[in-house]
Amino acid sequence: MTDNRKLVITNALIVTCDRDETVIEHGAMVVEGRDITWVGPGDALPAEHRVGAREWIDASERILMPGLINMHAHCGDSLFRGLVEDLPLEDWLQTVWKAEAAVLKDPADCRLGTMLGFAELLLGGVTTVMDMFWHADQSFDAAREIGIRLASGEIFFDPPGMDGFGPGDRPARAEALFDRYGDDDDLFVGTLPHGTYTVSPKGIHEALDLARARGGFLSTHAAETRAEQQTVRERYATGVIGHLSALGALSPRTVLAHCVHVDSQDIELLATSGTHVVHNPISNLKLGSGIAPLPEMLSHGVSLCLGTDGPISGNDMDMWLAMRLAATLHKGVNENATAIPAGEVLQMATINGARALAAEDRLGSITPGKRADFVLLDITGPHAAPIFDPINHLVFAAGRGDVRDVFVSGRQVVRDGRLVNVDLASLVAQVRGLQPRIRATLEADS
């Protein structure tokens, strides 16, 4: 008798990414419906699971690991990938915003860019993304279609938004997102004030109150650049982190992207409040923002997770590159080869993201009882021989090209390197179709 809800995987090298960093050679996993129900050595697989599964995957030559959790992205900006390069941050942002404002009023275009970003993430082994973009309803709908797990919400922003709405519209729009998507087990809804230099205390309070009332997260950009710190200091006589603390915005339900320019007092505030920090090394390097004090944050017990930022400060969203950088950048900058162990980085990219979403009971590791969000990674490549330690392999040598199969909530969304639910070629063709219009937004000005 076949159980249509049951999937069994055998012969896998399982890197569980649980808090004990458990690795299982010749491992097996049973998925029933959306959940993992059994994990262990293959020869201990209970008899009841040896027959009758809907699907049986021989994962020889594969690492089985939890899907990566990218805690900071702007997927819709895929439309503008590579449009503006080699400019200092302020000029860069003004140019990007002008292009965005000219293109993004149409929700369908937002959806297109976001879908392309989701496609890239899934094909790269990311099963959950915290995304900040305009027309978040489009993002949630796109996430359901392609099958990625999405955390998002309404952006709060004092100037008129690229979506055509103003600050007065944000609370009601945010409420609508909670109403519409808040009960979906595959989605997380929160509020997303853009930053303390672009949102007044009133806006931050609105976003915070709403997140609390609805049990959602709050996420914002924080302390990304020196200029931002200076602006906030001039305005509020305290730095970004102190300002957020004074607003009551630091807590275990708060996720701060970047935290590059933080001092020891800031780090103490972040650690004691249980606030989560998303390290985005690719973006911080490329935009010249600086180097976040990751070793100091780690040693002070700050909850750290990992992100790619958007593909206009990237120019892609490669969590493998983010892991590699998180694990090596701080060794080089501090001339200390022991800074930031590989195991720590892998947790940042998996279970720590789950913790930051208040979902460590459901996500982030290959553990019975959790949702079946996982990746099968090819290890037949020349860079995968030998593997003395699979965790080091994942952090220092594996890459997006190794991702073969991806499952979210037990449903396969990438099969042998191809999307299951969306036609990538058509998506790429549509984005290329927009290219002349996007390029024209810059040329109109010059």
Q: Which of residues 306-365 bind its own copies (CB under 8 A)?
A: 311, 314-318, 321, 324, 327-329, 331-339, 341-342
CB neighbours of 185 closer than 8 A, spacing ≥ 6?
34, 371, 409
Query: Between 112 and 189, whose beta carbon lies closer to its own copies?
Result: 112
User: Residue 427, interface with its own copies (CB under 8 A)?
Assistant: yes
Helices 107-123 and 424-443 meet at what angle, rounded to 10?
Answer: 130
Query: Between 172 and 333, whose beta carbon lies closer to its own copies?
Result: 333
Give dist(CA 41, CA 20) in Å, integer. Answer: 16
Site track 197-226 with its own copies (rule: CB under 8 A), x = hit: -----------------------------x
User: Residue 230, interface with its own copies (CB under 8 A)?
Assistant: no
User: 442 is written with which tokens?
Assistant: 């810059």
Among 29, 45, 64, 79, binds its own copies (CB under 8 A): 79
Among 43, 237, 388, 416, binds its own copies (CB under 8 A): 388
End-to-end Cα separation, the chain, in angstroms = 69
- Within 288-307, the residues that bind its own copies by CB under 8 A are 288-291
Please count the CA atoms within 13 angstroms of the CA of 255 that sit on its side-chain side: 33
Min dist. Cβ of residue 189 to its own copies (A): 25
Query: Between 227 and 247, whose beta carbon lies closer to its own copies?
Result: 227
The DSSP line for 219-241 is: EEEES-SHHHHHHHHHHHSS-HH
User: Residue 7, interface with its own copies (CB under 8 A)?
Assistant: no
Query: Between 287 and 351, whose beta carbon lies closer to its own copies?
Result: 287
User: Residue 74, interface with its own copies (CB under 8 A)?
Assistant: no
Give dist(CA 380, CA 39) in Å, integer. Answer: 24
- Within 389-418, the residues that bind its own copies by CB under 8 A are 389, 392-393, 396-397, 399-401
CB neighbours of 123 closer than 8 A, spacing ≥ 6?
400, 403, 406, 414, 417, 419, 424
Site track 91-110 with its own copies (rule: CB under 8 A), x = hit: -x------------------
Query: Between 357 and 384, whose beta carbon lies closer to its own copies?
Result: 384
Site track 116-135 with its own copies (rule: CB under 8 A), x = hit: xx-xx--x------------
The DSSP line for 74-130 is: -GGGGGGTTSS-S--HHHHHHHHHHHHHHHTTSHHHHHHHHHHHHHHHHHTTEEEEE
Min dist. Cβ of residue 45 to its own copies (A): 25
Min dist. Cβ of residue 132 to its own copies (A): 19
Please count the CA atoms within 13 angstroms of the CA of 140 that sit on its side-chain side: 23
237 by Cβ neighbours in 10 Å (0-12 / 13-18 / 19+) ranks as: exposed
Min dist. Cβ of residue 216 to its own copies (A): 29
- Residue 279 phi/psi, 5-degree rounding, is -85, 130
Query: Between 368 and 433, whose beta carbon lies closer to its own copies?
Result: 433
